[in-house]
Amino acid sequence: MSDRQMQLSWPRGLLVATAIAILLLALLYALALHDTPAAQAQTSGTLSMAITKQLDGSPVVTVGQYIDFTIRITNTGTISITKLPVIDNYDAKVLRFDQASPPPSTIDNGLLTWTTLPTDALSGPLQSGQTITINTRFRVIGISDLTINHVRIQDAIGQGGQSGGDGSDQSGGKTEGGRVVIEKSLEPGVSPQSGRPVTFTITVRNEGAADLVKVPIQDSYQAEYLQFWKAAPPPSQSASGQVSWEDVLPQLGLTSLRPNEALTITTVFTALKALDAGVINHAGVIGLRDEFQNELAAPQQAEVPIRIIAGPSEAQPTATATPKPRSKPQQATPTLETPAMPTPTTIAITATAELTASVPTSDSIPTPTLVPAHLPRTGTGDPSSAWLIVALALLLGGVLALLYRRVLSR
């Protein structure tokens, strides 16, 4: 090719290259204009979210109980969220953190933080309308009339780099101490009797959710009717009207009384005297402490009304018979029987004119006999007996005089 031809082709190649470059620029510009509406729409979108926190179950819980909270975060904007820092505050004197899903990035006294959400929950950004859930579990360790648990979102970031999204919520409730029940019972099938032993059983049952680490017991009684003899385990202190255990757990070889467990104490008294009825023995628990060193309210005292019957050694009132007045004995009045009169002398007159008289002999003359109805009492000095003897003597003398006179007249 000649030099002239080369000089003519060089400007032509330059024009072609320029034209191609302009076409490429026009194509890139057109493509840029096509993507601009989407970019403008993303830039003008909203970054917003909603967060809720809820206590699962009853708002009244007891010490030792485990409680669960549910945190929900929903993207209510039009921009995907790529960074979602979450902060959870709680009262460390009342609650103790146990676990969470997903796990928090940091755990501090009363503070939990998540700095890698939503990636940890979704493996990507939180799209518009999408929700993530965080579950937390705590154990109640303190007593409070009202405990509040706060959660908040701080400085969320959208996919386009937007920032400033936030939100917060709270939930809470009341925490109470554990529940302890104390019972006292008399030995079954035995009737208390004065002068005899009386056995009681004291039972303490843990119906709370935390271990009991101190269990003091006081047992009171009326010293007028009962006298303390012995107990198992032996009491720490004993005085008239009361025995007590400062902490019965070590005496039973225990370090704690776990939930739903019970312990028993046996006490033996001597009944002193009879009692119809009445509450004379009761037991109580004061100064209970749980594993978190909370002092629990004293439960209602257990009372045992008993009746003590009189024993053999106790004097019994007996009825005294009132003697009836004795009637004055009546003296027997003797009855006097009329004695048989002697047969009169018979005089017979014969034809010979001899007068023969038959005189009865002394053997044929009946002797008058006085027979009383009852034998007279002797040695009594009764005047009627003397008069009776005199009357008999006079009568006998009269009869003899009559007989003597008839003999003389013959």
Reported as a single tens digit per residue, the pLDDT across 129-161 is 999 999 999 999 999 999 889 999 988 999 888
Domain 180-305 has CATH 3.40.50.300: no
Alpha helices in 282-373 (DSSP H): none
- High-pLDDT (> 70) share of the chain, %: 74
Compare 40 and 251 and report the one with higher pLDDT.
251
Are the C-beta atoms of residues 164 and 48 closer than 8 Å to each other? no
- The contacts of residue 63 (CB under 8 Å, 6+ apart) are 140, 141, 142, 143, 175, 176, 177, 178, 208, 209, 210, 290, 292, 294
pLDDT score at 119: 87
pLDDT score at 359: 39
Check pLDDT > 90 for residue 312: no
- Beta strand segments in 85-225, E: 86-89, 95-101, 106-108, 111-114, 131-140, 144-158, 163-176, 180-186, 197-206, 212-214, 217-221
Domain boundaries, the chain: 49-176, 180-305
Long-range contacts of 246-250 (CB under 8 A, 24+ apart): 246/216, 247/214, 247/215, 247/216, 248/204, 248/215, 248/216, 248/217, 249/212, 249/213, 249/214, 249/215
Per the structure block, which two tokens stand in for 321?
Answer: 């018979």
Matching fold, domains 49-176 and 180-305: yes
pLDDT score at 18: 79
**Spatial separation of the C-alpha atoms in residues 45 and 164, rounded to whole Å:** 13
**Cα-based angle 101, 105, 106 (whole degrees, multiple of 5):** 115
pLDDT in tens, 58-108: 999 999 999 999 999 999 999 999 999 999 999 999 999 999 999 999 999
Check pLDDT > 80 for residue 32: no
The neighbouring-strand residues paired with 173 are: 147
Confidence of residue 315 (pLDDT cuts 50, 70, 90): low
- The contacts of residue 202 (CB under 8 Å, 6+ apart) are 182, 183, 184, 217, 219, 264, 265, 266, 267, 283, 302
Highest mean pLDDT among 156-165, 180-189, 305-314, 366-375: 180-189
pLDDT score at 33: 58
- The contacts of residue 240 (CB under 8 Å, 6+ apart) are 223
Name which of 191-200, 277-286, 294-303, 344-353 the model is least confident about.
344-353
Annotate 156-188 with b (16+ C-beta within 10 A) or e (fewer).
bbbbeebeebebebebbbebbbbbbebebebee
Check pLDDT > 50 for residue 320: no
pLDDT in tens, 5-21: 555 566 667 677 777 87
Mean pLDDT of the chain: 80
Confidence of residue 388 (pLDDT cuts 50, 70, 90): confident
**Spatial separation of the C-alpha atoms in residues 14 and 22, rounded to whole Å:** 12
Compare 52 and 387 and report the one with higher pLDDT.
52
Confidence of residue 363 (pLDDT cuts 50, 70, 90): very low
pLDDT score at 37: 47
Name which of 29-38, 179-188, 307-316 the model is least confident about.
29-38
Are the C-beta atoms of residues 182 and 218 closer than 8 Å to each other? no
Check pLDDT > 70 for residue 283: yes
Compare 285 and 351 and report the one with higher pLDDT.
285
Unique residue bearing structure tokens 């007279």: 376
pLDDT score at 370: 44
Compare 213 and 323 and report the one with higher pLDDT.
213
Task: Name the residue type at position 22.
Answer: I
- DSSP for 278-291 reads -EEEEEE--S-EET
Name which of 156-160, 227-231, 286-290 the model is least confident about.
156-160
pLDDT score at 337: 44
pLDDT score at 313: 73
pLDDT (average), residues 252-258: 97
pLDDT in tens, 347-358: 333 333 333 334
Check pLDDT > 70 for residue 170: yes
Burial class (CB in 10 A: 0-12, 13-18, 19+), 311: middle
- High-pLDDT (> 90) share of the chain, %: 53
CATH topology of domain 49-176: Immunoglobulin-like (2.60.40)
Residue 280, number of CB atoms within 10 A of its CB: 23
Alpha helices in 203-300 (DSSP H): 248-251
Compare 136 and 27 and report the one with higher pLDDT.
136
pLDDT score at 69: 96
pLDDT score at 205: 97
Compare 270 and 39 and report the one with higher pLDDT.
270
